[in-house]
Chain A
Amino acid sequence: MWLPVAIFLAVCIAIILVRLFLGPTPPDRLVGLDTLNTLVIVSMVILGASFNEVIYIDVAIVYALLSFVTTLFIAKYIEKGGF
């Protein structure tokens, strides 16, 4: 039951990676990375629901807490100029 959802999320991740490859400027790729973060967190929750394990949801929570740090650092670097 959960497998079509997970495969659809993997296809969405592939589409976002195409934007990550082709993005003309670094902010485009940064927004693509942030969308990729969200898609990976959603697929972790979906897979945790399908595996019937509670500990798997904790991985998604830890990832959601930590994944904004990279985006914040790169955004601060782009804000400082140099492009």
Chain B
Amino acid sequence: MIEPGVLHIIVPILIVACALLVAILKDLIVAVISLAAMSLLLALEFYLLQAPDVAIAEAGVGAAISAAIYILAIRATKRR
């Protein structure tokens, strides 16, 4: 059993950095990649908070479904 106190500082900082990057970037595909990274780190944070069922749900929705639907939506639009 460890004390993951330091990880509770590092991982939310990385989540906030990824979310800021999603808001700042202009390129849509790069924003989707950053959104997938944010979802991944959010699942890791749920895991650190000892909620593995929530982490499984977040993994299924965030990693598989969400980014795929965003890519399908971007593919249906025009790139400039």
Contacts and interface: CB of A to CB of B under 8 A. Distances in A.
Interface residues of B, number: 40
B51 to A, nearest CB: 10
A36 B39 CA distance: 11
Interface residues on chain A, size class: 35 or more
A30 B58 CA distance: 20
B3 A56 contact: no
A60 B47 CA distance: 10
Contacts of A10: 6-7, 10-11
A55 B53 CA distance: 9
21 contacts: A3-B4, A7-B7, A10-B10, A10-B11, A20-B21, A29-B33, A29-B34, A40-B44, A47-B4, A47-B47, A47-B48, A51-B2, A52-B1, A55-B52, A62-B56, A63-B43, A63-B55, A67-B59, A74-B36, A77-B75, A82-B79
